[in-house]
Amino acid sequence: MKKHIPNIITLFNLMSGLIALFYVFQKQWLLAFTFVLLGILFDFFDGLAARTLNVSSAVGLQLDSLADMVTSGVVPAFAMFFLLQNTLQVDLTQGISFDFKHLAPFIGLFISLGSAYRLAKFNVDERQSTSFIGLPTPANTLFIMSLPLIAYQQDIIDLNSFLLNPYTLIAISLLSAYMLNAELPLFSLKFKDFSWQNNKEKFILVGLSLVLIPTLQFISIPLIIIIYILLSLIFKTEKA
């Protein structure tokens, strides 16, 4: 029975992603973000359960990627699709014209393409056993899913105008797809021990997160992702 526990947790990740996708289509951004976050937590705990119970399997690895493709691939892509559609005020239900306004929302779906390629590559890339090469799909998803919460729930006019600019959203979509597969070494948040020397970057990230989240709320999420990337680059240079 215990060999099925990690896969059951993975299926909860998939279910969370499907529910999140439903709320994205309803433009219920906070609920969509909540279920994405829940799915990401399940994604963390399925791996932890597999290692703790020593029941890792090839099926579990593939199932994990399939669940992640929904929660961290399809959901953020459609969130970006609808952000672009709303910003451009275009009704795609009446058919599509081959002009900028009608085609631009589909650029958001590049996030799914980048996520699919990353997840496939992750399964066969032996370099990513203890760290990451490229931005992990959960981090990218949190970044994307925070954008509508910032734009629609935090009343900062200049920031909202910037985020709801279609060119900003297109740039974020393309950069997102690139960062998922960039040859960029990023540290893992897994702790093998709790020494400062071996975990400086992780402690700094956690400490800054604890300060930023209560003070900046949703704005803290993309900032934390950016800090994560910068810390990875800084400590990579230091170790080199």
Using one digit for the tens of pLDDT, what is the confidence trace for 200-239?
999 999 999 999 999 999 999 999 999 999 999 998 755 5
Which amino acid, 217?
Q
pLDDT for position 240: 44
Which structure tokens are listed for 117? Answer: 């390629």
Question: Which tokens hold the place of 104?
Answer: 């631009």
Residue 157 CB neighbours (<10 A) = 7
Query: Which residues touch 238 (CB under 8 Å, ≥6 apart)?
Result: none
Which one-letter amino acid corresponds to residue 164?
A: L
Hey, what domains does the chain have and what are their CATH numbers?
Answer: 2-183 (1.20.120.1760)
Residue 146: name the closest of 163, 166, 171 by CA: 163
Phi and psi torsions of 195, nearest 5°: -80, 145
pTM score, whole prediction = 0.91
Nearest residue to 123 (alpha-carbon basis) of 40, 60, 191, 78 = 60
Per-residue pLDDT tens digits for 39-71:
999 998 887 887 777 777 788 888 999 999 999
Residues 6+ apart with CB under 8 A from 126: none
CB 46 within 8 A of CB 15: no
Each residue's pLDDT tens digit, 73-116: 999 999 999 999 999 998 888 777 888 889 999 999 999 999 99
Q: Is the separation of the CB atoms in 145 and 79 below 8 Å?
A: yes
pLDDT above 70 covers a percentage of the chain that reads: 97
